[in-house]
Structures are given as C-alpha cells and as structure tokens.
Amino acid sequence: MNLKSVLLLVAFVSATLNIFAQNRISGTVKDQENNKNLAGVSVYIADLKAGTTTDVNGNYEIKNLKRGTYLLEISFTGYEPIIEKITIAQDTVMDFVLSPAITELNELIITGVTRSTELRLSPVIVKAVDGNTLKQNSATNLIDGLRNIPGVNQITTGTGISKPTIRGLGYNRVITLNNGIRQEGQQWGDEHGIEIDENAVDRVEVVKGPGSLMYGSDGIAGVLNFLAPKALPIGEIKTQVSTNYQSNNNLIGYSLSNAGNKDGLQWLGRFSNKFAGNYQNAYDGKVFNSGFKELNGSLFLGINKRWGHSHLTVSSYNNTLNLVEGERDELGRFIYENANGDEVVASGNDYKGYKVGFPHQTINHLGVSSNNYFILNKGTINADFGFQNNKRREYENPAAPNEPALFFDLNTLNYNVRYNFEKSRGWETSVGIGGMWQSNTNRGEEFLIPAYNLFDAGAFLFTQKTFGKLTLAGGLRFDNRSMNSKELYLNEDEEPVQSTDPDAELKFSAFNKNYNGVSGSLGLSYQVDKNSTLKFNVSRGFRAPNSTELSANGRHEGTFRYLFGTPDLKSEISHQIDDDYFPNPK
C-alpha cells in the first residue's frame, strides 16, 4: 500500500469517527443562596425528548449525544428555570446555579414552531400553559383550562363541549395538534369538541394567528398544540393515579397511568374514565338530559438512541353525550318523548344518576401516530405520520335506540416531514412538506353532508437568526387542497336511489374543487432588558373551504339549524399584525 492510499484511509477513518463520535454533557447543579448541591433537578433536551435528573450529589449526565446545537432546560420546583443553548462538539462539562423563584413559571421552551425555541426569543406570538395551570382552571373539558389566556375564548354548547376561539375565530379556522399530528374530526359542528383525553396532556402551546407555517391550511386563527408529558429519565418508572369530583353535576373522573424508561426504551400507558349527571343552574335547577360519559385509553412506546428517537402512540377516545333540547310544557317543566312515542314530564328520578337519554351522540376517535427524529451528520429530520378514524353517531328516536340518525365515518392520514439544516452563520433554517388525505362516508339514515375525498399538500421554508438581543424570523408556505364528492339522490322515504329512479330527488351535487394559497410570516423579537421583550410580527394566512361549507344540505337536529352549503365559495385570506410586549420571568 503506497503512502497516498494510507493517507486516504486515515482521512476516511478520521471522518467516520467524527461523524459517529458520541459525546456527553455533565455537570453539577447548585442552589444560589447556600451553594448546596440540588438533587432531583430536571435536565432536559426538548428536540431529543431525552433528559435526566441530578443525583443526591447534584450531578447530572446525558450520554450518546451527536455533535450539534441543542436547547437545554434546567428546572426544579421552587426555582427559576434556566434555558441554555449549547453546542456539543466533544464531551462537555457545564455547571448551573439555580435561584429560588417566588411563583411557579409556565413553560419557557416552545415546540410548536420548526424547532425547539426559547419562548422569549421567538417572534411568533406563542403562549405556553403548563399542566398544573390546566388542572387548576379546567371544568368539564380541556378547553376550559385555556380560558384565561388573553385572546383565547371558548364556545360552549353543552357540558363536555367547548370549542376554542382565538381572536374571535374558531371551528375550522383553528388547528388542533395532538403530539404533533393534526386532530381531525367533525370540528365544523357546534356540538363537536376536540376529542382529546385531558389527562394525557401535560402542556399546551397556543400560537396566535397564522404565524406557524408548519401545519397548512385552516390555521388562520392559530394553532393549539397539545403535548404529552416529558420522557422520564433512564432507569425511572412511575405510576400515577388522579381523581376529580365536581359537585354541580356529580362529575366523577379518574385516571391511572404507568410510565418508564429502561435503557432508552420508553412507555406510557393510560386509562381514564369520567362521567357526569345532569348539571344545575339558578333558573332551571337540574337541566334534563345534560349528562355525559367519557372513556379513554392510550399507549405510548418509544425508543431513544444516539441516532434520535422513534415514538408510536395509539389512543382511543370514547364519549357519550346527551344533547339538551329544552322542551317544556305550559308550566315550564322539562318534557321528553318515551319509547312509546308518548310525551312525558321529567320527574325526580329522571334527573338522578348518569342516564343516557335522547337525543344523544356517541363519538369514537381512534388515533395512531408515529413521531420520528433522526440526527444526521449535518442537520436533523422530523418525520411524523398519523392515522385517525372518527365515528360520530347521533341518536334521536327512543323507539329505535340502536339506530343512529346521523353517522359520519371519517378516515384521515397525516404526513409531515421536515429537514432542519445545520446552523450556518447563525441562521437556523428548516424546509418541509406536510398535508393529509381524508375520506368521509355517511352510514346513517339522514344525510347532512356528502361523502367526499380530500387531499392536502403543502411545502414551507422557515429561517431564524439571533443578532445579540435581536432575533429575526420569517418563512413562506404554499398549500394545495383538492376535494371531490359524488352526487346523491334520495326517494320519498329519504333512502339513497339511482338518478334514474322516478322518485329520485337530488340531495347533493357532485363537485371537484381545487384551491391554492400562500401563507407567510415575518417577525422579530428584541430583548429590551433582562425582564422584558418586544415582539413584532406580520403574517398572512390561507384557508380553503370545507365540504360542509360547500355542500351541506339538511336539518341538524343537534343544533336546531338547517345547514345549506354554498358551492362557489372562495378561499379565505387573513392578514395580521402583532406588536406585543412580554415581561420575562424574573
């Protein structure tokens, strides 16, 4: 072997070792006031979904880190958290000193943008709410816990049903994410909630306006990103039981979970149950047929290794919800129709217990998601895929209790793939594609919206750079939505027939629609001093109409409305300017 070959071999081996070299970060965490080592401090890297806690001597260590830049969060109850951006090129030692905090602080790292970012540096207007705040503010559903966020409100149409609105816009103008996957149900309707187990949510990130470019059409009002609990440190196993009782409607809820992390193999299993009777108010006392039941389960399995992580989550949400009609007799008493078709005045026993009455709806939402993060030699890849099946049934006739009048069967496949470039000259840039395929089928006796197929595809570019106290960020996204639906004819008995049938009457016309749109965001944040940050953001959002808006045709018993679509609707475009002042935690 000549000298040239030897040198080439040495160079190749050196490059290979550099690529696959595994580094670690370690150090000690102390109390600022007494200089004592702190045990049990959380040291967490959000993008890797990996972390550890300090031992009895205040020492921590995270192994198997590839070279790169990471956002490190050091937090401990009763102390101000520390957010530190670190660059790992070799084994690194970093010590931290925590100072006591007077009040508890919300999450300071956000993940609802292209990569984990310190909240105060992000020009996108984001509000993070931790799990403790959600539990303290929650009433009968998850959205109640967000009602104290400025600009965020809710539309409540019954117990257990709350729909979020951001700056006055809601329904299909707000995107809901569950662990990075866009949640899809029949969210166009008044009595359709977000269908997520509140016990499975550890924190929420609220992106106001169309500033988040990762999730495509429909997010012109904003994005709600519901996140699961952080991964446990290696070697830790935890079992939790939580309970809830509310006196107004005798609501009883409980949740049991078991989580662990063994050598990078992670799991989290959860079972939740909740049921409530009729609620009461100052005007009616007990409100007839206002109870609900909810039964949920989920299983998370994950593997975290030096190459990144791969997580699989399977969840099942099941809800039975009574729909209040409010019919009364001449004396103001609630009345209802029994199985014989007789009109009956609600008596004392009808208000007791946890009965399922008429009308009521059942919702079954099955979700399977795969969240993957791969660390490359230069850059990283996020690849998220999901499948959802949403079945919504509405029962109206007590004489036929097992025959749904409305039955929507919705299948959705989600995909989001993003490449995050290695930091270059201070710029952090990401490119990605994302969208969904969707199919809706009617399986009930009534037809409110047509069966349809939908395909969304989009691509985006986002970049960000910090210049001292100033952070500049901006991006563009292009989306395309195509929808098609077949015509439907009904006879005099409201049964589907061929168009050639002599009694055929057109219910839905066939349509093929195609929509294109461009979204964009440009913003900056400036840290005035240690305790305050100014943010300015200009954004443009795009939203294509949905099938209900285009072609609905029918009476919706659950909302006392007749819905009628407009087939020539155009896309919605929103423009927004934000100028905000944020006091930073002290």
Q: Read off the pLDDT band of 140 (50, 70, 90).
A: low
139 is a domain residue: no
Phi, psi of 407 (to 5 degrees): -150, 105
572 is a domain residue: no
- Total domain count, the chain: 1
- List all residues 6 or more positions away from 34 whose beta carbon is below 8 Å from its beta carbon: none
Tokens of 530: 């240690």
pTM score, two decimals?
A: 0.85
Quote the CA–CA distance of 478 and 163 in Å, as a whole number: 27
pLDDT digits (tens, 9 = 90+) for 236-284: 899 999 998 988 899 999 999 999 999 889 999 999 999 999 999 888 8
267 is a domain residue: yes
Greater model confidence, 372 or 179: 372
Q: Chain-centre distance of CA 389, in angstroms? A: 16
- Give the residue among 386, 451, 381 at the shortest CA–CA distance from 413: 386
Burial class of 331 by CB neighbour count within 10 A (0 to 12, 13 to 18, 19+):
exposed
30 is a domain residue: no
Quote the mean pLDDT of the chain.
84
pLDDT digits (tens, 9 = 90+) for 21-49: 578 889 999 988 888 898 888 898 887 88
- pLDDT for residue 542: 87
Residue 415 lies in domain = 198-567
Q: How many residues does the chain have?
A: 586
Q: Max alpha carbon distance in the chain (Å)? A: 106
Please say if the pLDDT value at position 9 is more than 70: no
120 is a domain residue: no
126 is a domain residue: no
Q: What is the CA radius of gyration of the chain?
A: 27
pLDDT digits (tens, 9 = 90+) for 326-339: 888 888 889 998 88
304 is a domain residue: yes
Beta strands in 133-231 (DSSP E): 152-158, 161-166, 169-170, 174-178, 181-182, 203-208, 222-227
- pLDDT for residue 17: 41
pLDDT digits (tens, 9 = 90+) for 185-199: 887 666 667 888 888
Quote the CA–CA distance of 68 and 524 in Å, as a whole number: 25
Task: For residue 274, give the CATH number of its domain.
Answer: 2.40.170.20
Worst-scoring range by mean pLDDT, 17-26, 42-51, 59-68? 17-26
Worst-scoring range by mean pLDDT, 110-119, 285-294, 436-445, 507-516? 110-119
246 is a domain residue: yes
Please say if the pLDDT value at position 233 is more than 80: yes
Worst-scoring range by mean pLDDT, 147-156, 442-451, 493-502, 572-581? 147-156
